[in-house]
A and B are shown apart, each in its own frame.
Chain A
């Protein structure tokens, strides 16, 4: 099984500042035949299901603000929020879908 590890577990950032969440997989999630990383990012707010933000490591879903961006390849990935807004307070998860599916443990993002 591919193990997904996020860092940090929690993060406090001031409004308007940058937030960075990291995700590392125990083996590559880059599929060589199509050069795509099978990696997604989700945002979950209390009492709500997760919301897909980014798939293929860097493709933003329609309607997701452009302050959210994803980067990385192979085994190391990053979700960046360029200018934190109050509504971004949530738990963020990475997910690999290279081999069945597995999620990171989550990163709780709060306002400093």
Chain B
């Protein structure tokens, strides 16, 4: 069964760090680019970051550049998001997602998301 499962969310103080994980099963993780997308409570969707299948390329939204780092462990089928210098405005549900149905070769080129996890909530508050 194709599945993405996020974990690692919680309550954290402003300025602190948190690492999110996304465990992948049911497909060849190492062949697909992966994304993080977030959604603040009651708000819309915001793309956060992408990492290529082999981890050699990544891009970030301006709102997180320099503070967040996306990475992956293909031997463990796991995607990560290291979040540093957290701010109140980073409070959101964080989803991992990918372009799965189009095939692995399309996943880094076409950034629509047909496979999503259920998300993990990060709350930044003192």
C-beta contact mask, A93-112 vs B, less than 8 Å → 1, else 0? 10101001111111000000
Of B62, B101, B111, the residue contacting A97 (CB under 8 A) is B111
Of A1, A38, A49, the residue contacting B116 (CB under 8 A) is A49
Across the interface, which residues of B come within 8 angstroms of A48, CB to CB? 118
The smallest C-beta distance from A28 to any residue of chain B, in angstroms, reads 17
Taken together as a complex, chains A and B put the C-alpha atoms of A97 and B59 apart, in Å, by: 13
Question: Is B47 in contact with A50, judged by CB distance below 8 angstroms?
Answer: no
The smallest C-beta distance from B38 to any residue of chain A, in angstroms, reads 11
Taken together as a complex, chains A and B put the C-alpha atoms of A100 and B111 apart, in Å, by: 7
Listed in ascending order, the chain B residues whose CB lies under 8 Å from chain A are 35, 44-47, 59, 61-62, 95, 97, 101, 110-114, 116-119
Across the interface, which residues of A come within 8 angstroms of B112, CB to CB? 40, 52, 55, 95, 97
Taken together as a complex, chains A and B put the C-alpha atoms of A10 and B43 apart, in Å, by: 14
Across the interface, which residues of A come within 8 angstroms of B116, CB to CB? 49-51
Q: Can you name the residue of chain B whose Cβ is closest to the Cβ of A53?
A: B114
Does residue A62 face the partner (Cβ distance < 8 Å to B)?
yes
The smallest C-beta distance from A101 to any residue of chain B, in angstroms, reads 4
Question: Is A49 in contact with B119, judged by CB distance below 8 angstroms?
Answer: yes
Does residue A61 face the partner (Cβ distance < 8 Å to B)?
yes
